[in-house]
């Protein structure tokens, strides 16, 4: 999620630190070149990697798994999000200590996270470090960075909902991901977070784990529910793209979908599982 830029002096110190790291040794130079090549191969130079002291084979493995080129193509195909006008910097630390140091040098205003999207002097920057879930984090934060280049005033819940949807590897996105099973437990237990409630959240510290889950759930419904729901999302994004007046989806969706909370519940508990089952049957018939 975007945060305020750092002061000029801090930014300069960070630049010098990164520049120093870039010159620190041949291992880093090789690693950076390998990572840049891995990203360029899939993402046409949309991302620029700075990865001090990270082994090149690890970077290649992570970027092959993250598949950021596919992510950018999917954001274009599904939501009409164009490629950004300038490359997005990916600053990957060798470990959590290096990451914390970069985060503190940038004076990131949001609570510390293992991965962050920030803007620094107008440039999109994703910060993280080498860890087991780095590929997922790069897709999540990379989605924020690509979205923000297109959508200057996205509500927090929709920003997080779209990032949570696209953070999963492509084959898992329609069927679920990390939020799916806890969400089903919420819905079966009668728990619901409405769009109107999500629209009230204005800072990352306002978002609970359940808010993230329902932000993902509403996004999934808008993408995979009835065409009227998808059209409402597209219209919202197009209005943002054209800098037009924007009405919250909490107001526009009920005009198209009466009782959207009931529709969301039906989507996850009945309609979507049936569609997945039909798709599985269809593919097994084709395979047979
Ligand atoms: Zn996020």
69 belongs to a structural domain: yes
Taking the centre of ligand 1 as the mean of its atom positions, its distance from the CA of residue 155, in whole angstroms, is 12
Q: What's the 282 CA to ligand 1 centre distance in angstroms?
A: 35
Range of the domain at 97: 8-150
Please identify every residue whose CB atom is under 5 Å from ligand 1, which is an ion.
160, 163
Last residue of a domain, one of 83, 118, 150: 150
* Residue 20 and residue 133 in one domain: yes
Is residue 44 one of the residues assigned to a domain? Answer: yes
Going from the Cα of 228 to the center of ligand 1, the distance in angstroms, rounded, reads 26
For ligand 1, the distance from its centroid to the CA atom of residue 1, given in whole angstroms, is 5
Closest by CA to 234, choosing from 84, 77, 72, 83, is 77
Indicate whether 15 belongs to any domain.
yes
Looking at the fold, whether 238 and 183 belong to one and the same domain comes out as yes
Question: Residue 137 domain-assigned?
Answer: yes
Q: Residue 122 gets which letter from DSSP?
A: T
User: Do 134 and 175 belong together in one domain?
Assistant: no
- Which of 122, 150, 178 terminates a domain? The answer is 150
In this structure, the answer to whether residues 90 and 199 fall within a common structural domain is no
Q: Are residues 135 and 193 in the same domain?
A: no
Q: How many domains does the chain have?
A: 2
Amino acid 206: pLDDT? 86
- Are 139 and 185 contained in the same domain? no
pLDDT in tens, the chain (288 residues): 444 333 333 333 333 233 223 323 334 555 556 556 555 544 557 899 999 889 999 999 999 999 999 999 999 999 999 999 999 999 999 999 999 999 988 887 777 899 999 998 889 999 999 999 999 999 999 999 999 999 988 999 999 999 999 999 999 999 878 999 999 999 999 999 999 999 999 888 889 999 999 999 999 999 999 999 999 999 999 999 999 989 999 999 999 999 999 999 999 999 999 998 888 888 777 666
> 174 and 282, same structural domain?
yes
Q: Which of 186, 172, 171, 170 is nearest to 218 (CA)?
A: 186
**Distances from the Cα of 198 to the Cα of 161, 182, 193, 194, 266, angstroms:** 11, 18, 7, 6, 20
- Please state, as a whole number, how many other Cβ atoms lie within 10 Å of the Cβ of residue 219: 22
Could you tell me the distance, in angstroms and rounded to a whole number, from the CA of residue 24 to the centre of ligand 1? 32
144 with 184, same domain?
no
Distance in Å, CA 106 to ligand 1 centroid? 18
**Model pTM?**
0.84
In a domain, 83, yes or no: yes
User: For the CA atoms of 215, 220, 225, 229, what is the dihedral angle to 10 degrees?
Assistant: 50
Same domain, 252 and 204: yes
Whether 155 is in a domain gets the answer: no
3-class DSSP state for residue 6? coil
Q: Which pLDDT does position 287 carry in this prediction?
A: 67
Same domain, 141 and 176: no
């Amino acid at each position: 999620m975007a945060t305020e830029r750092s002061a000029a002096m801090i930014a300069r110190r960070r630049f010098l630190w990164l520049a120093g790291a870039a010159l620190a040794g041949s291992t880093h130079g090789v690693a950076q070149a390998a990572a840049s090549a891995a990203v360029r191969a899939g993402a046409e130079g949309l991302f620029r990697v700075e990865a001090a002291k990270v082994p090149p084979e690890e970077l290649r493995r992570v970027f092959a798994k993250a598949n950021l080129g596919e992510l950018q193509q999917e954001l274009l195909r599904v939501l009409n999000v164009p490629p950004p006008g300038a490359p997005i910097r990916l600053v990957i630390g060798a470990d959590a200590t290096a990451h914390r140091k970069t985060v503190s040098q940038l004076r990131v205003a949001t609570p510390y996270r293992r991965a962050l999207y920030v803007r620094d002097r107008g440039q999109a920057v994703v910060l993280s470090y080498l860890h087991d879930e780095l590929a997922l984090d790069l897709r999540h934060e990379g989605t924020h960075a690509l979205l923000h280049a297109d959508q200057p005033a996205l509500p927090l819940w929709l920003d997080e909902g779209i990032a949570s949807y696209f953070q999963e590897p492509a084959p898992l996105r329609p069927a679920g991901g990390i939020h799916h099973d806890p969400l089903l437990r919420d819905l079966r237990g009668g728990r619901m977070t409405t769009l109107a409630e999500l629209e009230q959240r204005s800072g990352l510290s306002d978002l609970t784990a359940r808010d993230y889950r329902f932000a993902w759930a509403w996004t999934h419904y808008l993408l995979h529910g009835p065409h009227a729901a998808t059209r409402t999302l597209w219209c919202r994004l197009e209005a943002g793209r054209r800098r037009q007046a924007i009405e919250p989806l909490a107001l526009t969706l009920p005009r198209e979908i009466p009782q959207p909370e009931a529709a969301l519940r039906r989507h996850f508990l009945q309609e979507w599982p049936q569609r997945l089952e039909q798709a599985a049957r269809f593919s097994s018939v084709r395979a047979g």
